[in-house]
Structure 1
Amino acid sequence: MRLRTDIFVSALLRRVFAKGDFAAVEAKGADEAGAVFIRQHFRDGLETLYGPAPQSVFDRETSGERLFERRLTREEPERVRELLERERKFDPDLWVVELEADDLGDIVPLVDERRNPL
């Protein structure tokens, strides 16, 4: 069973604040099952966008977990906004969380790291 989105986002914000970084909800979606997109802001003005991993990467062990994949890496904010606008047309109930953190560490579970652990 997957954790409700509002609870997942709340826990995500707390983990970011605990590291001394900043986070905010840019767009609130459906409380129970909204998709979550994460905008990571860097000091140089560029952004990385993370989105939900495709269903094909889930198996029995990860079926209740939220996994993310990089959609854009260190791009101009306008490009990130354009992609999010396209996603909102497809799914108006999505969440967008903004993070100001240089390193996400273990805050955002990425598909790439699960497939190729260090």
Structure 2
Amino acid sequence: MNTEYDLTLLYDGRCPICRQEVTWLQSRNKQNKLALQDIHAEGFSPAHYGKSLDELMAEIHGVRADGRLIKGMPVFYAAYSAVGLGWLMAPTGWPLLKPLFDRLYAWFARHRLRFSTLFGAKPCQNKIHTDIE
């Protein structure tokens, strides 16, 4: 694990919404504290993190600099914090709002590929993403 990064974000590169978010985060990664890893990239092994691909697909995961694996809403807070925008996600950790955000994210994660079609993307249904049609 490269400890120069505050967080390595493990994301679904086949999900148009996920790719859009990663592109946005990368544009703000001026201090290079956020590493990005597509879980569908050639050579990526979920077993390296003690997870299956299905587990990584079920919800977002991140790896802290010390090697700890985190998942769900805390990953977004850590990712935004790594690019200097943690304040945007701070309400997701407030005691009264955290359960709501956790439930909303869990619901969104299950349906994210369907939501992609609302933004004009073809549903990928976990098929291999290619630029060739």
TM-score by length of 1: 0.33
Instruction: Pick 1 or 2: higher relative contact order, CA cutoff 8 A, min separation 6.
Output: 1
TM-score by length of 2: 0.30
Larger proportion of strand: 1
